[in-house]
């Protein structure tokens, strides 16, 4: 079945790449409009909180224990049976290998049992295409992906066509937030805890560097900022609540400045992708997009550079099944289906031809 049948494509999406177990059903009509019929997510925060981060073995086991029930709940909420679906999509990478295998095996099994097309989805592509579901936005547009494992600027040229502009050469921004929270004795996940503490802090009390700001190359670096923060914290120890709030505020302000500068450079490099008189769009995806200060910084930048800004709702910026289902529907509409022998890809860059940034780690 394709969108040319004038019937909506109904796709089940399964997401198990990290520490959320999720399934959703999305409908896509012939004009590429999308509707979320269900979106069920089970967080594993309680399982990982004692360890201060995601433990891959625990994550995989938790997916095994609840995925069947999550899929059943998504179908029930959508009021559909497996036989009603047009296709079944599952995240194939990048992510934690154990979790990816759980979702892939489940998706392939359902597709085989129901005789439906199977779609192996790149998690980053799902993030990149989410604004098509939420805002009806069509490429080309510039995307900032900021999450615990990924920090990239990408030019989205079309479904399956992406040009990476910038990436992190060390830590991802979300990872830096989590490590900052752990250093300062805050809770997990770290991002919301740092943001909460920063609200009452003085961002100017502790001077911190802005790595890469002003550089011609469009990449990000967070390691130097993280090291400087640790040194400031050690010098001020033992830390009071006021010290922690001021350190968080200084860290958040530095991250905002880094993002503004790096995205501004990406805008310059992506300029050739937008035709004369065509609206220029900046989109944001990933859990860090929920940070209010970062969102405000991006809004200022977009307005100053003549870009429109599109940010999906917070529940669709973090990992979820709806974005996997939508990416699957977009690919299915173009006949881009996959075989049941498709293997998990823990590392799966959207733009494999992009040269590695000097010093880059394994955040692809």
Of residues 331, 176, 315, the one with CA closest to residue 258: 176
Furthest-apart CA atoms within the chain: distance in Å: 67
List of residues 6+ apart from 91 with CB closer than 8 A: 14, 15, 16, 17, 100, 103, 104, 121, 122, 123, 126, 324
The pTM (predicted TM-score) of the whole model is 0.92
In three-state form (DSSP H/G/I as H, E/B as E, the rest C), the secondary structure along 271-340 is HHHCCCCCCCEEEEECHHHHCHHHHHHHHHHHHHHCCEEECCCHHHHCCCHHHHHHHHHHHHHCCCCECC
Q: Kindly list the distances between the CA atom of residue 107 and the CA atoms of 64, 89, 300, 324, 337, in Å, as whole numbers in the listed order.
A: 13, 7, 41, 12, 13
Looking at the domain that runs over 3-136+315-333, which CATH code has it been given? 3.30.420.40
Q: Tokens 């501004």 sit at which residue?
A: 264
**Vertex 152: Cα angle to 62 and 271 (nearest 5):** 145
Is the alpha carbon torsion for 50, 255, 324, 33 positive or negative? Answer: positive
- The superfamily in CATH containing domain 141-312 is ATPase, nucleotide binding domain (3.30.420.40)
Query: How many CB atoms within 10 Å of residue 208?
Result: 20
**Vertex 217: Cα angle to 348 and 262 (nearest 5):** 80
d(CA 291, CA 315): 13
Contacts of the segment 292-295: beta carbons below 8 A, 24+ positions apart: 292/195, 293/195, 293/198, 293/252, 293/253, 293/256, 294/146, 294/252, 294/255, 294/256, 294/259
Sequence ranges of the domains in the chain: 3-136+315-333, 141-312
Reported as a single tens digit per residue, the pLDDT across 318-361 is 899 999 999 999 999 999 999 999 999 999 999 888 877 765 54
Predicted pLDDT at 302: 97
Backbone angles phi, psi at 71, to 5 degrees: -65, -45
Reported as a single tens digit per residue, the pLDDT across 31-57 is 889 999 999 999 888 888 888 888 989
d(CA 151, CA 260): 13
Token digits for 235? 């010098």
pLDDT of 131 strictly over 70: yes
Reported as a single tens digit per residue, the pLDDT across 58-112 is 999 999 999 999 999 999 999 999 999 999 999 999 999 999 999 999 999 999 9
d(CA 129, CA 150): 16
Which has more confidence, 4 or 130?
Answer: 130
**Vertex 114: Cα angle to 108 and 117 (nearest 5):** 55
Pairing of strands 20-28, 9-15: antiparallel
Same CATH fold, 141-312 and 3-136+315-333? yes
pLDDT of 4 strictly over 80: no
If DSSP codes are grouped into helix, strand and coil, which group holds residue 228? helix
């Amino acid at each position: 079945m394709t969108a040319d049948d004038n019937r909506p494509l109904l796709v089940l999406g399964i997401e198990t790449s990290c520490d959320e177990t999720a399934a959703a059903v999305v409908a896509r009509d012939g004009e590429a409009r999308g509707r979320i019929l269900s979106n069920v997510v089970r967080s594993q925060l309680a399982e990982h909180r004692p360890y201060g981060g995601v433990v891959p073995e625990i994550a995989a086991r938790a997916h095994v224990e609840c995925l069947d029930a999550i899929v059943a709940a998504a179908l029930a909420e959508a009021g559909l049976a497996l036989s009603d679906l047009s296709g079944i999509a599952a995240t194939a990478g990048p992510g934690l290998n154990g979790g990816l295998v759980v979702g892939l095996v489940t998706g392939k099994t359902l597709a085989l049992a129901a005789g439906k097309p199977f779609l192996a989805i790149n998690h980053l592509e799902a993030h990149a295409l989410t604004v098509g579901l939420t805002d009806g936005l069509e490429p080309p547009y510039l995307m900032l992906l900021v999450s615990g494992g990924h920090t990239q600027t990408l030019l989205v040229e079309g479904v399956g066509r992406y040009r990476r502009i910038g990436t992190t050469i060390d830590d991802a921004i979300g990872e830096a937030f989590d490590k900052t929270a752990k250093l300062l004795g805050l809770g997990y996940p770290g991002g919301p805890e740092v943001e909460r503490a920063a609200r009452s802090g003085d961002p100017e009390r502790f001077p911190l560097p802005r790595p890469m700001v002003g550089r011609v190359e469009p990449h990000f670096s967070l390691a130097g900022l993280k090291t400087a923060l640790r040194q400031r914290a050690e010098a001020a120890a033992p830390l009071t609540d006021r010290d922690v709030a001021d350190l968080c505020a200084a860290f958040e302000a530095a991250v905002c400045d880094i993002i503004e500068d790096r995205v501004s450079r990406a805008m310059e490099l992506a300029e050739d992708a937008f035709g004369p008189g065509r609206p220029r769009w900046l989109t944001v995806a990933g859990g860090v997009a929920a940070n209010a200060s970062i969102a405000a910084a991006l809004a200022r930048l977009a307005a100053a550079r003549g870009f429109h800004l599109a940010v999906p709702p917070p529940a669709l910026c973090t990992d979820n099944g709806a974005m996997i289902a939508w990416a699957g529907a977009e690919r299915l509409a173009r006949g881009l289906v996959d075989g049941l022998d498709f293997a998990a890809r823990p590392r799966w860059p959207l733009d494999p031809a992009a040269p590695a940034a000097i010093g880059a780690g394994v955040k692809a």
